[in-house]
Amino acid sequence: MNEVPAQISYDELTRVYRLEKNTSRLVELPEDFYNALYEFMVNEHNQYLESLKDVSSSRARDFSNLRKMVEELFGLREKKVLSLALVSARTSDGMPEHLTLQEKELFSDLLEAINAHRGVLSGLMVSGTRASPGEPLTESAKDLNTLPVRILSEVPAFVGSDLKSYGPFQPGQTVQLPNRIAHMFVARALGAISD
């Protein structure tokens, strides 16, 4: 069955925004909502640029308000998806309803990260990680000093700050790395560290 692509108007977007703001549940949207929103925003931006030729300050204000509304709508839905992922990690529920295509991917990634992080708790709850004070930690306790990292792009072999060799890694691969190196990878992926 071929679905008709979502059509967005300013009025429809305002309606969705108000509903999303006034409920704790996700508002039902078509899966391709963000694709349609992108097209709508491009069109509105082009109209805004055209209005600059006529020195129309009201059109500029309208576009600024539209951007703020879209950013807030996106943030509201993002928080709800995060909450759903946290609940799903505890209850093992499946994929929630009313997610867009991009939100389904976000939900899956969040759920994977939360479940991996819950491995830390499992490691803490292992009885007998030390037979007695002063004895070396078992393997499960040593794992608390590492974090799983999903590799997004090809990474050549490198020497870490601990002077040990790591890699090479391929996209999609999940590897256990020492906390400091794992945090560096995450920061680099988020753009917090420049090359």
Element housing 41 (H / E): helix 33-53
Residues 6+ apart with CB under 8 A from 69: 13, 14, 17
b/e code 140-157 from CB counts within 10 Å (16+ = b): eeebbeebbbbbeeebee
The domain ranges of the chain are: 10-109, 141-189
The pLDDT value given to residue 124: 67
pLDDT, position 52: 79
User: Which CATH code is given to the segment(s) 141-189?
Assistant: 3.40.5.50
Which pLDDT score, from 0 to 100, does residue 57 have?
Answer: 65
Q: Which residues contact 52 (CB under 8 A, 6 or more apart)?
A: 60
Q: How would you class 100 by CB atoms within 10 Å of its CB: exposed for 0-12, middle for 13-18, buried for 19 or more?
A: buried
Q: Which CATH code fits 10-109?
A: 1.20.58.1030
| Predicted local distance difference test score (pLDDT) of residue 141 | 44
pLDDT for 12 = 92
| The predicted structure's pLDDT at residue 161 | 76
pLDDT, tens digit only, all 195 positions of the chain: 334 456 789 999 999 999 999 999 999 999 999 999 999 999 999 888 888 777 656 777 788 899 999 999 999 999 999 999 999 988 888 889 999 999 999 999 998 888 888 877 766 665 444 444 444 444 444 456 788 888 888 889 888 877 888 889 998 888 888 888 887 777 676 554 444
Instruction: Give the model's pLDDT for residue 3.
Output: 45
- Which of 83, 81, 90 lies closest to 115, judged by CA? 90
Predicted pLDDT of residue 68: 95
pTM of the model: 0.60
The whole-number pLDDT of residue 123 equals 65
